[in-house]
Amino acid sequence: MRKLTTALVVLFLATITLAADEWHIETVDSAGLVGEYTSLALDSSGRPHISYYDESNSALKYARWDGSSWHFDSVAGVGDGGWFNSLALDSSNHPNISYGFDDLRFARWNGSSWQIETVDSQEWVFLGSYNSLALDSDDYPHISYYYFGMNNSGVKYARWDGSNWHIETVDGSGGFGLGKYTSLALDSSGYPHISYSNQLNNDLEYARWNGSSWQIQTVDSAGAVGLCTSLELDSSGRPHISYYDESNSALKYARWNGSSWQIQTVDSEGDVGYYTSLALDSSGYPHISYYDDTNKDLKYARWNGSTWQIETVDSDDLVGEYTSLALDSYNNPHISYYYAYNCDLKYAWYGDESGVEDAELSAGVCDEGVLVGWTITGDAPAGFSVLRSAGEGEPLGVSGALPGTAARWLDADVEAGVEYRYWLEAVEEDGTVSRFGPTEVVTFPGAARELSLSVYPSPASGSFTVDYTLPVDGPITIALYDLSGRRVATVLDGEMTAGRHDDSYDASALPPGVYLARLSTDAGSLTERLVITR
């Protein structure tokens, strides 16, 4: 990720650096024993958000990247848990998190604070563990989860209808081991699809709601299979599932082709495939992050249309458990995961880190408003935008989209006496947004202008320009008079804002001679001599 720099520079200078697509790895959080049960989501700007467990405080934590730095929140209080968390972002990019162990809980950020509630708290052991969260088109949460108690276990499902939680048992047909590793996805009708493990039979199971009942299938029963499931639906609503084959210590992948399940072994080099996370790209091809227990590494596999491409992403000691994978708008993978050796949260993303590396930003008062300028280090991006805060307010976009070649922008919509700060956002070709700033406080002094008038060229053979400055908003008239005092032409008659302006006038229809250009305003009047020739 790129670092933030703030300085006062006005001129534009971009130095070009070249970079290739590659993996970029960083430690996100190392404050204590943190990073288990990670869940990753990318917002509409492609920025990562991660929920994870803080073992030091037995608490749920949340981290987000704002384009220049990571921000951290303790979602649930000390001792409140945070195991088996699952993160989804709503249409406002606000985080929603399900989590649980002895009961199922749900936390959502409402824009100013975390709202936390208990969804299910029946007298079950492990109620709420192995949960998976998805949001429907109304941003309502749906959660699949595991329960166990009194020699019975299974899969439960909870959904919020806008006023109440509705809870039901999806599959409760077995003893200990049925229903672990649930993974939930919603189809275009908002109906839930759930993959899960049946350790009673060592099977991979799949359940879907058809609008009236749950339809349950065994996907794979070839040995001890079905652990660590991860489910995604393609554009046709067909399920794809990654999972661990314990019998063969391998990563497997299953997809429904409309009539049958197609099953592949993706990787069997050593003991691989634990902590799988699946995402589908824009072509519907699967990408999977997973743990290599033989080498204690983070691995990544993707289907290119004909074969699996497999690579080791991170090979630090004991790294790669609890993976969570998301793809950005360019189908580049982003992975959150646990570094067990140091008990840290780590994050890896693949792509080109060329573009804006740093930006030095300035803002200064001029007659027309506040001029914001910047100098970048790195490659010019696809575009820029300028954000502004007024007083103690939050920064808001004010410039609209600016080209990547821009180096300054004039903020003419400012008020006298208000303290302003400015930020710059660089938008890369892949949609990545980096934010720089803020500038130091700038206060616009208000109307300190004097009334002025200039007419040029003189002599003029055709058109001429009237350049004028107004100290205040108000009505103005600019007219031409001959030497007898008769008005012969009106250049402008209307309301104008304070500041500097210029207007052109075609005088080709006027006879040659000497004229007087007169500016009349509530603040006074000025006259300039003008000669017209042919």
Do 391 and 277 share a domain, yes or no? no
The answer to whether residue 345 sits within a structural domain is: yes
Question: How many distinct structural domains can be found in the chain?
Answer: 3
- CATH number for 399: 2.60.40.10
Identify the domain containing residue 480 by its residue range. Answer: 452-532
Task: Name the pLDDT band for 11 (thresholds 50, 70, 90).
Answer: very low
Contacts of 86 (CB under 8 A, 6+ apart): 39, 51, 97, 98, 99, 131, 132, 133, 143
Do 465 and 439 share a domain, yes or no? no
Tokens linked to 161 = 């209808």
Amino acid at 183: S
Contact (Cβ atoms closer than 8 angstroms) between residue 491 and residue 505: yes
Check residue 222 and give its pLDDT. 92
Q: How far is CA 325 from the centre of its chain?
A: 15
Distance CA 103, CA 224 (A): 28
Does the global pTM surpass 0.95?
no
Torsion sign (Cα): 142, 100, 29, 341 = negative
pLDDT-above-90 percentage for the chain: 70
Q: Is the pLDDT of residue 12 over 80?
A: no
Do 93 and 230 share a domain, yes or no? yes
Task: Name the pLDDT band for 109 (thresholds 50, 70, 90).
Answer: very high
Do 228 and 335 share a domain, yes or no? yes
Query: Rg of the chain's alpha carbons, rounded to an integer?
Result: 32
Task: Name the pLDDT band for 7 (thresholds 50, 70, 90).
Answer: very low
Do 248 and 382 share a domain, yes or no? no
Check residue 174 and give its pLDDT. 63
Check residue 66 and give its pLDDT. 87
List 108's β-bridge partners, or say none: 96, 115
Check residue 447 and give its pLDDT. 52
Give me the mean pLDDT over the 55-66 stretch.
Answer: 94
User: Which candidate, 293, 253, 303, places its Cα nearest to that of 270?
Assistant: 293
End residue of a domain, out of 443, 473, 502 = 443
Do 57 and 86 share a domain, yes or no? yes
The answer to whether residue 88 sits within a structural domain is: yes
Give me the mean pLDDT over the 182-197 stretch.
Answer: 97
Tokens linked to 308 = 């699996």
Least confident of 344-348, 390-394, 401-405, 448-452: 448-452
The answer to whether residue 62 sits within a structural domain is: yes
Do 193 and 159 share a domain, yes or no? yes
Mean pLDDT in the chain? 90
Do 301 and 403 share a domain, yes or no? no
Return the SS3 of 69: coil
Contact (Cβ atoms closer than 8 angstroms) between residue 55 and residue 343: yes
Contact (Cβ atoms closer than 8 angstroms) between residue 203 and residue 244: no
Q: Is the pLDDT of residue 18 over 80?
A: no
Distance CA 105, CA 139 (A): 17
User: Which candidate, 308, 289, 309, places its Cα nearest to that of 299?
Assistant: 289
**Higher-pLDDT residue of 446, 201:** 201
Check residue 175 and give its pLDDT. 65
The answer to whether residue 103 sits within a structural domain is: yes
Q: Is the pLDDT of residue 354 over 70?
A: no
Q: Is the pLDDT of residue 116 over 70?
A: yes
Check residue 469 and give its pLDDT. 87
Q: Is the pLDDT of residue 243 over 60?
A: yes
- CATH number for 505: 2.60.40.1930
End residue of a domain, out of 422, 443, 464 = 443
Beta strands in 304-401 (DSSP E): 308-314, 319-327, 333-339, 344-351, 356-366, 369-378, 383-390, 396-397
Check residue 521 and give its pLDDT. 93
Do 297 and 394 share a domain, yes or no? no
The answer to whether residue 246 sits within a structural domain is: yes
Q: Omega before 438 cis (within 30°)?
A: yes
Tokens linked to 274 = 């634990």
Do 251 and 214 share a domain, yes or no? yes
Give me the mean pLDDT over the 108-134 stretch.
Answer: 89
The answer to whether residue 7 sits within a structural domain is: no
End residue of a domain, out of 394, 419, 443 = 443
Task: Name the pLDDT band for 393 (thresholds 50, 70, 90).
Answer: confident
> For residue range 211-232, what is the model confidence (pLDDT) as tens digits?
999 999 999 999 899 999 999 9
Least confident of 19-23, 129-133, 301-305, 502-506: 19-23
Edge to edge, the sheet with strand 214-220 lists 178-186, 192-198, 203-209, 214-220
Contact (Cβ atoms closer than 8 angstroms) between residue 204 and residue 254: yes
Question: Other C-beta atoms within 10 Å of 27: how many?
Answer: 13
The answer to whether residue 13 sits within a structural domain is: no
Check residue 110 and give its pLDDT. 94
Q: Is the pLDDT of residue 151 over 70?
A: no
The answer to whether residue 356 sits within a structural domain is: no
Task: Name the pLDDT band for 77 (thresholds 50, 70, 90).
Answer: confident
Do 139 and 174 share a domain, yes or no? yes
Check residue 350 and give its pLDDT. 94
Q: Is the pLDDT of residue 19 over 70?
A: no
Amino acid at 80: D
Q: Terminus-to-terminus CA distance in the chain, angstroms?
A: 64
Tokens linked to 254 = 């299953």
Task: Name the pLDDT band for 123 (thresholds 50, 70, 90).
Answer: low
- CATH number for 145: 2.120.10.70
Do 316 and 170 share a domain, yes or no? yes
